[in-house]
Structure 1
């Protein structure tokens, strides 16, 4: 983790619906935040790595995989890596949850 990294409060954990993406602007960056059914939180750039682009926030979460409804791609929430046979990667951001608050590192 970068020593100069700043964490920004994204909200309270209960404000993020389970398995549903939410778009936030954090430090000028459009971020898609996902909460899994076991309360893990992931933050990814809201930009689809598919050549045609588009947002990823409308994807469906199952476990640690985001299922993209536009192109039928599967993206690992922890790494941002698109699962085979497709290729690509989404930028991810560190997340921490402290005392019920969600913080995103930039």
Structure 2
């Protein structure tokens, strides 16, 4: 059984925006799409370690602000000709409140 911790409210994240969650092991970027989907991924691009939370959200993807690598928010996989991935984390939304799997905080930057 998964334990969940509340990390905020959906309305605290602008549509097509992100916020960071600080964990004991590093930062996790939490994104909200235009359609109100919520995703959580590692906040570091594997290419040049750009802060993905500062990237441009389009559809269910984010573009790294440093060198334009695009990542699928659901899978963490780089898109197009780029290769690599970022870790994704389980998220649940209940009554407008965002919850993250508790173990995600422990493996954030493993």
State whether TM-score is above 0.5. yes
Of Structure 1 and Structure 2, the greater helix share is in: 2
Choose which of 35, 50, 53 in structure 1 pairs with 2:49: 53
The number of equivalent residue pairs is 102
Aligned pair 1:7/2:15, yes or no? no
CA distance in 1, matches of 2:42, 2:11: 21
**Deviation string, structure 1 residues 52-105 (Cα, Å, up to 9, x no partner):** 223211011111111112111110000000012000100000110001110011
CA distance in 2, matches of 1:22, 1:72: 19
Gaps in structure 1 of 5+ consecutive residues = none
Gaps in structure 2 of 5+ consecutive residues = 105-110
- Counterpart contact for 2:51–2:64, Cα < 8 Å: no
SS of the aligned residue for 1:89 comes to coil
Q: TM-score, normalised by structure 2?
A: 0.85
**Which aligned runs of 4 or more in structure 1 are off by greater than 2 angstroms?**
26-29
Map of 1:65 onto structure 2: 61
Aligned pair 1:29/2:26, yes or no? yes
Q: TM-score, normalised by structure 1?
A: 0.88
